[in-house]
Structure 1
């Protein structure tokens, strides 16, 4: 309550103003909500009186019941439903209790997560035609962006963009080749892409190619004009596609196309064409050949063996093929001859010349020919590296080598005055100017002077082979044997082929009926036939100062002889007569005979009184 005083000039008046507050009319306020576009938004509030009446509003404007808005009441709960919300439905909503309080809240529209139910498809269309790209989302998109190759497109000109609910469309009219590319529709949370291919309309030729006559060495230019500028063309000679380079120069300015053929040759004659799509224009060029002559002829030369020689000449025009000959023989490029041709100059390089390369050489071009003589002086052969004397041990291999002043010259190897031949003992090799003699399994008797002879040149070196000391690898083994058989004694030396001497005691044995001596490589054998006790003793095999000894023992044979001997005995005054049986064992031992008697049988007695 407050007192208000009104004053006007001299008069005044006083009154009391009492302001009564609205009664508490809202039990539960509205709450702000966020709803995905296309869904329903529901606001609710609770009033204190079931009889209360409310007024709903959006951004201060009253809301009436409609298809968009649904108003309802359940006892004290007031409800507003906004159907199928869009971005336009966002804002501030209020619920005012008539004669009471007002509660407010905001509605925020969220963009849905869009998905394409129908994506863009690749399209082909002809130049000057039109193409339509169309896609469809599950829900209407609030915003759609079209782009080509990552660059955003705008509607206008020959492009038209539309959206009808969930269907998005891009139409391109009056297509050009540059409209080909990749197009994208972007609705924020999803993208779809398609390729558009614009097929160019065939271009026709307003002005066609014309036939030409030209002379070898000149340039020729072919020209044609298309009905529309900028179309791609392909130049051909016959069926061969031509490429720009030193020979061909291609130009295209607007609708005019040119082909320049440089430095014409006779083989450039033929049919040339310019193709654009399925259109084609053709013309023939005829190149007249110039007659060929030698501007600079070959010149005769002299040179020394071993070097390289170059013969060269020059024709009156470049690139004409030539043939090189020596006498009547046609030469071919390889290790010996190298042929070069640069423009109008021809060269023949002869490598590592030898006296046999001397002769007349010619360069032939058609019916033209130039000839010059070449004379090669032989160089005397000498030994650049001579043989060197060597010492080595018996049993290995030795290589003697020397080098001549030039390759491929035959040599002869000698030991003393004996000419050596290649075989198991000697191997001779020659690679270019190096000659080698390989002597295998050398022995002391290989020592001596060795020579390599080439014509009147000779190099000599001495070879000394040291003998290896001889030992017995396997010595003689002592043996026992019975009389009458054969006995073999054998031993093995450390190297083969050495002579040995067999002895019994100090007696040197000789080969014959009794003794047979064999030697195979390093193994020596002594065969003693029909051995008797007197063959027993010590046997030795002697090689130089080396010796191996073993004993041999021969057992004699036993011979049993039975004898009946008459016997008379005087015993106790009586004479007894009878026979006694004895056996005699005759043994032959060390050349002596031993008789042994043994009683064999009972006495057979006859008593005489």
Structure 2
């Protein structure tokens, strides 16, 4: 019985075709490197029969573009990349090189002749000198927002503010608030004690923090003459408005009285004078000549 089963299995192995296929993999599917260093994207493959498979590298962006095609590098990768087997090495990478790369191997002699592996490249950028927006002067009692931004650091930078080279810290009794991710420093009502030299510092996990040049902020009071000028201007505006209102009211009254007189004049129409009496002509006079008595 055992010999019969063994013979049957041997016959099946002889007559059934062996599935031959190319297999592609990567020992490191996510690569993180610093800017201006080399990035190695691994690609390992195995074929059953084809000893000279076709190897291609592509980058997936908005559209898929070639990196290595027809045994040569394409576009910006020419002259700054190399191939070792199927592994891709990119020299002096920048943030533009970040993205998803695909290693494709085609073995035409294998039964399943195509395989691929994907590698993600993240290029980390150390902090750059941030741009800081600090006004030179501001009036006391007004609200104020200082801005700080570093658009080039990867991962995104976090921010801290300094006044007179002392780090500002948020507390319950502080007259300001800070947003470490947005880089803002807000005052609801500045006072003269807030005057000083302000600077911002950006930092991330890649390199040393970078700071902008400190800038002078001066909080000044409203001068007395300006206050008087504002009060006088306000009074002048009020008087002018009152005069305009009085003039408008008087004009409206005059127009109404004039309209009333016009209407009364138009409503009374005196009757026409009577016609003159006709002239008297050919009127005969009679004299009594006889008297009648009964």
Q: Quick one: higher RCO (CA 8 Å, sep 6+), 1 or 2?
A: 2
TM-score (norm: length of structure 2): 0.41
Larger radius of gyration: 1
Query: Going by fraction, where is helix more abundant, 1 or 2?
Result: 2
TM-score (norm: length of structure 1): 0.22
